[in-house]
A and B are shown apart, each in its own frame.
Chain A
Amino acid sequence: AQKITQTQPGMFVQEKEAVTLDCTYDTSDPSYGLFWYKQPSSGEMIFLIYQGSYDQQNATEGRYSLNFQKARKSANLVISASQLGDSAMYFCATRGAGNNRKLIWGLGTSLAVNP
């Protein structure tokens, strides 16, 4: 079975500073993927970044980077140069290999960016 743990219910960050959102995972699949999504108050889940379990390098997408530590089973999201529009819920999720493509989600972290 797969499980995602996000231990930070809420986080605050000053505008223009960096913030790290924690995610640990548990899976028995040898091959898996890790995702981060942003959910603003409008409700839509917006894809941010993906890390494959066999990727040699940490994933980066613009201001988003994923600090992937496989031995520790952690996949923390780093947001650099925070903007007011980054205020939202952030969810970490995992997906196993094979035809079953469903995502298993954490409880999320609420991020507030202060001006």
Chain B
Amino acid sequence: GAGVSQSPRYKVAKRGQDVALRCDPISGHVSLFWYQQALGQGPEFLTYFQNEAQLDKSGLPSDRFFAERPEGSVSTLKIQRTQQEDSAVYLCASSPFPKGANTEAFFGQGTRLTVV
């Protein structure tokens, strides 16, 4: 498809398990973002890539969270030793920025992570 694709859509992890969340951005989009959305809240910024460079990781809540985008397209968000407070929807977004005019970010449908 032409939109941002995230997989899996749903993930149930046992506490302490490692998980990997995948994001396929829109082809050609330079910028890629990860957000965390807890139940009943607005999204919170996690990290930002321009191509393969991770320019901002200030929102990652702990060193258990790690994101990569090695070839400047697909990105993976990895959470090690998951804890219950990690339960949330993880949203990925991509944008043509800095190419083109000021535009919005396009979001995927998210991965709902439940840690039990």
- B55 contacts the other chain (CB 8 A): yes
B107–A44 CB distance below 8 A: yes
For the complex formed, measure the closest distance between the CB of B5 and the CB atoms of chain A, giving whole angstroms.
11
A99–B55 CB distance below 8 A: yes
How many residues on B have C-beta within 8 angstroms of the other chain's C-beta atoms? 29
For the complex formed, measure the closest distance between the CB of A89 and the CB atoms of chain B, giving whole angstroms.
9
For the complex formed, measure the closest distance between the CB of B40 and the CB atoms of chain A, giving whole angstroms.
8
Chain A residue nearest in CB terms to B41: A107
B107–A101 CB distance below 8 A: no
How many residues on A have C-beta within 8 angstroms of the other chain's C-beta atoms? 24
C-alpha spacing A93/B93, complex, angstroms: 14
Partner of A43, one of B45, B105, B106, B112: B112
Q: What residues on A are CB-neighbors of B48 within 8 Å? A: 100-102
A101–B95 CB distance below 8 A: yes
C-alpha spacing A107/B42, complex, angstroms: 5
What sequence of 0s and 1s flags, for each residue 32-51 of chain A, a beta carbon within 8 Å of any chain B beta carbon? 01010100001111110010
For the complex formed, measure the closest distance between the CB of A77 and the CB atoms of chain B, giving whole angstroms.
14
A52–B102 CB distance below 8 A: yes
* Residues of A that sit less than 8 Å from B by CB: 4, 33, 35, 37, 42-47, 50, 52, 91, 93, 99-108
In addition to A45-B43, A52-B102, 20 A-B residue pairs with Cβ atoms within 8 Å of each other are A33-B102, A37-B107, A43-B112, A44-B108, A45-B107, A47-B105, A91-B43, A99-B98, A100-B48, A101-B33, A101-B97, A101-B105, A102-B33, A102-B45, A103-B33, A103-B45, A106-B42, A107-B41, A107-B42, A108-B41
Q: List 15 A-B contacts (CB under 8 A).
A: A35-B104, A42-B109, A43-B110, A44-B107, A45-B93, A45-B107, A52-B102, A93-B42, A101-B97, A101-B105, A102-B33, A102-B48, A102-B56, A103-B33, A105-B44
